[in-house]
Amino acid sequence: MIKPKVVILGGGFGGLAAARALYKTAEVTVVDRHNYQTFLPLLYQVSTAGLAADHVAYPIRGALRKTSVKFRMGSPLSIDHKNKEVKLDSSEVLQFDHLIVALGSTTADFGIPGVSEFTLGMKSVHEALTIRAEIMRRFEDLCRFEDETRLAITVIGGGPTGVEMAGAIAELIRGPLKSDQKQAAAQIDITIIEAGERLLPTFSPTLSKRTKKDLEKLGVKVLVGSPVAGVEHRKITLRDKQVLPSEITIWAAGVKGSDAMAQLSLPVSGNRVVVEPTMQVKNYPNIWALGDIAGALGKDGSPLPMVAPVAIQQGKFIAKQIKRLTQNKALTSFKYLDKGSMATIGRNKAIVQVKGIKIAGALAWLIWLWLHLFYLLGGRNKIGTMADWTWNYLTFDRGNRHIMDSY
């Protein structure tokens, strides 16, 4: 039997899951603009000197080494639907019987003025290193000034990413920076802003309240019910006209499907590709979409969350769907199995919510550590991450406080 040609655009969680599930029954090619996969859930720890950058990146070829999957580094420019071809920016043209679009997401500014110009995003290793460099560079300025100058750091967005970032910055300041130069560390203010009425709106109110309390104990100022109207150089304006100083503004308020959707001429709704319950792109039965870029709906009719478990389950599901087609079997509808949500606030502080079960504190923190270590690719990365975490925990220090950005 002739194996179908499957091209997968994107080497993230979902793309790799699909490739690994398909390579025995199809000729698979993975395309990604980087030659490595980024473990996005731990990027904030790179930003706050908790982890080395290479611990959250793993070579895609290494992840596919024991398979027959081909890899091409590049970005898609266009799709020729009639001839079933995708053109890459390397000028290479790949033919396909099935195309899987797994291009992930990019920062969503929701039309708020100044977000793209004056905030730092959290979607790549480069952005994480930029945040770390900015924090450390401004800390060095405070050490040099030796006066009453204050440094305001603001995290916009009270979801898991924002909460984890704010907590990690607070611990960076209370631990190693305070040990380095106590006076300078005392002059750093951290604020987290959430437009909704509480932090972590997808969690139970009880866990949201616990999170707010834990952040405030770490010295973080929490503003809820405070939509941002605009961001300018060194200041943020809220919708109620309140103006906040902010030398470093980190945007964690949301993401949208990759901008590549438009140039690939795929149907889009609500900043995500429109898909059928089968995960096929609407009107294109041989094209599939998964993960952050796919507008798949849950049982309640709302879009599924942009998280790794969704992408992984969809990648494996699409692989099964393509196998069903080769066997002339009917397609099925995707059903997401929600295994729960979690977020860490800091040392021995985390929350876990699995259906009706709610866990907070040290036990939740240990569960969070174990699961992230489990999903991290590469033995070296697992060992390195564990070593960094152990060192940080035992010494209250963070050894990755280097200023290493593009300068």
* CA–CA gap between residue 79 and residue 9 (Å, rounded): 11
Active-site pick, 164, 171, 194, 247? 164
* CA–CA gap between residue 301 and residue 274 (Å, rounded): 13
Residue 317 tokens, joined: 């599901």
Identity of the residue numbered 252: A
Rounded to 5°, the CA angle 234-199-121 comes to 40
Sign, Cα dihedral of 46, 380, 291, 72: positive
3-state secondary structure of 370: helix
What does each C-alpha distance from 39 to 12, 53, 69, 230 come to in angstroms?
8, 10, 21, 30
Residue 181's CB is within 10 A of a number of other CB atoms, namely: 16
What does each C-alpha distance from 7 to 15, 50, 171, 266 come to in angstroms?
10, 36, 43, 16
* CA–CA gap between residue 51 and residue 10 (Å, rounded): 25
Is 164 part of the annotated catalytic residue set? Answer: yes
* CA–CA gap between residue 173 and residue 218 (Å, rounded): 10
Residues noted as catalytic:
164
